[in-house]
Amino acid sequence: MDSNLDYGVAGMQALRVQAEAASYPETLGALIDDAAARNGDQLLAKWIADGQTMTYAEYARQTRKLASSFEAQGIRKGTHVGVMLPNVPAFVVTWGALARIGAVMIPVNISYTETELMYVLTDADAQFLVMDQSAVPVWDAMTEHPALVSDTRVIVHGTPRDGSQSWQALLDAGDEDYVATSTLSRTDLLNLQYTSGTTGFPKGCMLSHEYWILLGSLAAKFRGRGGDVKNVLINAPFFYMDPMWQFLMTMVLNGTAKIAPRISLSNLYNWLVDEDIHYCIFPQPGLKAWPEGPEDRKINLRYVSIFGWTPEARKEVERRFGCVARESFGMTEIGGGLMVPPEAGSKAYERTCGIPAAFREARIVDETGKDVVQGEIGELWIAGRGLLWGYYKRPDANATGFSGRWFRTGDLFRQDADGFYYIVGRIKDMIRRAGENVAAQEVEAAVVSMEGVWEVTAVGVPDKMRGQEVMVVIRPREGVTPDQIDPEAVIAHCASRLAKFKTPRFIKYIDEFERTVSGKIVKRALVDDKTNPRVGAWDRTVGKVLDQAEADAQIA
């Protein structure tokens, strides 16, 4: 181990010891109040699109007021509440209010269709729904509603529908001196976070107050650069986990969250400059969104999180912007797992996910659960404080997903002689598109329900901008020809059942799949490294089947 790396690992271990010895707020409500006591009228958040702002004191006060009104409506400790809101102040206020009561938030993707909304709310046993007015048409279009959510238990942010309640009216009527009527602790459930990170339909990860407190607090400690990071860009949808822990990290750093409505490469540069951003999750394509030059000096980044970048891109972002760019590994189930130390020397430019973060232990094991020899490939297992409780109402998934105190990530890793971990691939059948997890089985279930389809498989096609794009390969029923299963009809069918990011871009037809001895489809044969899987696929972005030249041009 070189001296720089030795120094970096030692520093990381010292931070781990310090972090694990520290005390943390018991609940999210306590974290909000502690931050408000420290910062008062200091700016906590700014919504970039419309200029709305919120101070620390205002946030604490609004969460107490809304909590009192929620409780008056019958929301109690343990009540499950769906929250279907875009990146607006109401999202974080609602989360904080539910946390103060001890209720459980179920974040819902604002782009979900009626089918997806019905699935999540029913599976999660939601009793109330807080939704944006933009999502009301989806609710109204449902042929039936979840059994536990009556119209009077729908709370609309914006113009309320007939029979529902107004989120703003509830906030205005609340008591700012609200005190929780139930005793809360760090191990109480806070979120049912649905994830497609594993095979099958989305499952609800049961995440406690402690999970979120540690995730936000440790992110601040390891990414805060000794107090240099104050302005944090949040531009992913709040119904995913990253924006939520980034918001908590900002409070721990006594900083300001600059919140954009959505991810946008075209707007990224202006946001970084105009909002004086110090930290963000930086997408590698952003390096190509504007040319390198004198304008780079206007950017004041100090630390960026990166995922899967090439060595050249890692060096470029640090050279251009004078920041620290570091990889890590996490997932909804475990929060943070591995991190590359800030002072990692040349190791930082390798595709390593780092070493175990605070409160985390890691193992690489074989199929029998025995540790592999260092350097060999196996499944990464993680243990530690504040992991998910388990998957909601999924005893089989919990039985296979855990081995004692160890969570089985389903990801293949190896460890080098310096103790650094490298991801090799995924055991789980999942497609990763532009930061979104898409369960192949969910896409397959939508397509196979079409008339004329006998079998279908969904795979991830490599894409330089989005990581992967969704492709479905269809085997028609006997006597049905491919032209009888029109690709545009496939897209329309999927679009009525799946969110936009899950809807396939590429469609292929096949007479027979390559199979294993047990009869399972060999997916890797459809996306091998030797051929371009786009060749012969119908591409919905251009509305035609791609020939070799057209397919090659897309990945050039």
Domain residue extents for the chain: 3-21+211-426, 28-42+55-185, 430-555
What is the phi/psi pair of residue 419, to 5°? 90, 10
Residues in the chain: 556
Q: What is the pLDDT of residues 289-315, one digit of tens each?
A: 788 999 999 999 999 999 888 888 899
201 with 101: CB under 8 angstroms? no
Residue 198: pLDDT band (50, 70, 90) is very low
d(CA 343, CA 351) in angstroms, rounded, equals: 15
Q: Which amino acid is at 70?
A: F
Q: Which CATH architecture has domain 430-555?
A: 2-Layer Sandwich (3.30)
According to CATH, the topology of domain 3-21+211-426 is Rossmann fold (3.40.50)
Q: Which amino acid is at 492?
A: A
pTM: 0.84
d(CA 274, CA 268) in angstroms, rounded, equals: 10
Q: What is the pLDDT of residues 70-122, one digit of tens each?
A: 999 999 999 999 999 999 999 999 999 999 999 999 999 999 999 999 999 99
According to CATH, the topology of domain 28-42+55-185 is Rossmann fold (3.40.50)
Residue 157: pLDDT band (50, 70, 90) is very high
DSSP state letter for 373: P
Query: Is 3-21+211-426's fold the same as 28-42+55-185's?
Result: yes
131 with 158: CB under 8 angstroms? no
